[in-house]
Amino acid sequence: MKLINFNWQQLILGLGCLLLMIACKSFYPTTNSDVKPLKVGTDPTFVPFEIQTASGNLEGFDIDLMNALAQPTAGLSFAVQFESLPFDGMISTLQAKRVDAAISGITITAERLKTIAFSRPYFKAGLAIAVRKDNQNIKDFKSLQGKKIAVQIGSTGADFAKTIPNAKISTFNSGPEFFQDLLNGNVDAVVSDAFATLYAIKNGKLKGIKVVADLLTQEYYGIATPKNSPYLDAINKGIATLLSNGTYKQIYQKWFNAEPPQLPDSWP
Ligand code: GLN
């Protein structure tokens, strides 16, 4: 009696397939798609750093930079998966390690460094005052005293506004909202990141608004990660590579049509 219906032909075919699979796996090196992608939080309302196109795609300076970092030429070996988050929740999401990193024009500040980590600076920025074009009175910090000012919740602009004596501050979730309030005449000024505001004005999105020439602060943006992130070292090395191999300059010129300024190696 035959107990097992043993089929030699099937066994040899099976073993052959298995050997072929092993051979293929060792022949082709591990690709990005085999590695868990780096989850990167971003708030796509901060032009031109992060923009959501009509078709739902992300583009912008930060997006190009992060994608360039993920290229093998920058020394990183992971794919990037962006996740849209409100700016105000970015720090707590990083703290809870629900994302591996965040790039969103985030200013490196001593306060934020208490709870999260930052890469080396990748962008020189600063706050500026925006007013309606016909406003001749607001020109500097002093002239903001006692004025109605709009800011974005959780931003460095909001922190700065708190230091203005007697200012009446309204907070908003994103840039487009507070500029609308300024245009409507509900507030006298907006305190926000100069580059983002200047870009929006230049591209015709904020007709009727001007930026006061002098910057209120000097700030640097960094890529944020949870504290003790295993990725931070690679991100820092990658930024250094992009700065030295011309990729950073190319991305800067694409979005700002200007030569990038010198960046410090570390900040503050
Ligand atoms: N740079 C500002 C900050 O870090 C604002 C950034 C933003 O709105 N995305 O607070």
pLDDT tens digits for 149-175? Answer: 999 999 999 999 999 999 999 999 887
Nearest CA to 85 out of 32, 140, 45, 134 is that of: 45
* Residues 175, 143 within the same domain: yes
* Residues 51, 174 within the same domain: no
In a domain, residue 84? The reply is yes
pLDDT in tens, 78-87: 899 999 999 9
Asked whether the predicted pLDDT for residue 218 surpasses 50, the reply is yes
Q: How many CB atoms lie within 10 A of CB 236?
A: 18
In the prediction, which pLDDT does 248 show?
98
**How far apart are the C-alpha atoms of 139 and 91, rounded to whole Å?**
32
* Residues 112, 188 within the same domain: no
* Residues 111, 224 within the same domain: yes
In a domain, residue 54? The reply is yes
Across the range 46-57, mean pLDDT stands at 95
In a domain, residue 25? The reply is no
In a domain, residue 24? The reply is no
* Residues 135, 150 within the same domain: yes
In the prediction, which pLDDT does 29 show?
42
**How far apart are the C-alpha atoms of 221 and 118, rounded to whole Å?**
9
* Residues 118, 47 within the same domain: yes
Contact 94, 182 (CB under 8 A): no
**pLDDT class of 97 with cuts at 50, 70, 90:** very high
Asked whether the predicted pLDDT for residue 23 surpasses 60, the reply is no
**pLDDT class of 106 with cuts at 50, 70, 90:** very high
In a domain, residue 204? The reply is yes
* Residues 210, 234 within the same domain: no
**pLDDT class of 77 with cuts at 50, 70, 90:** confident
In a domain, residue 8? The reply is no
In the prediction, which pLDDT does 30 show?
43
Structure tokens at 94: 């990083």
Pocket of ligand 1 (CB under 6 A): 43, 46, 87, 104-107, 152, 155-156, 193
Residue that wins the pLDDT comparison between 206 and 49: 49
Ligand 1 centre from 166 Cα, in Å? 23
Structure tokens at 170: 């309204």
**How far apart are the C-alpha atoms of 20 and 33, rounded to whole Å?**
21
* Residues 98, 111 within the same domain: yes
In a domain, residue 21? The reply is no
The CATH number of the domain where 212 resides is what? 3.40.190.10
Ligand 1 centre from 9 Cα, in Å? 66
Atom of ligand 1 nearest to the CA of 49: 9
Ligand 1 centre from 85 Cα, in Å? 13
Atom of ligand 1 nearest to the CA of 45: 9
Atom of ligand 1 nearest to the CA of 175: 8
DSSP 3-state of 144: helix
Asked whether the predicted pLDDT for residue 20 surpasses 80, the reply is no
pLDDT in tens, 37-46: 999 999 999 9
* Residues 144, 162 within the same domain: yes
Classify residue 98 by burial, with Cβ atoms within 10 Å: 0-12, 13-18, 19+.
Answer: middle
Number of domains in the chain: 2
* Residues 111, 169 within the same domain: no
In a domain, residue 184? The reply is yes
Asked whether the predicted pLDDT for residue 26 surpasses 50, the reply is no
In the prediction, which pLDDT does 7 show?
63
Asked whether the predicted pLDDT for residue 1 surpasses 70, the reply is no
Asked whether the predicted pLDDT for residue 35 surpasses 90, the reply is no
Angle at 264 between CA 262 and CA 267, to 5 degrees: 145
Structure tokens at 142: 């002093």
pLDDT in tens, 107-125: 999 999 999 999 999 999 9
* Residues 55, 114 within the same domain: yes
pLDDT above 70: percentage of residues in the chain: 87
In the prediction, which pLDDT does 74 show?
85
Report residue 181: phi and psi, to 5°. -65, -35
Structural domain that includes position 168: 127-217
* Residues 183, 111 within the same domain: no
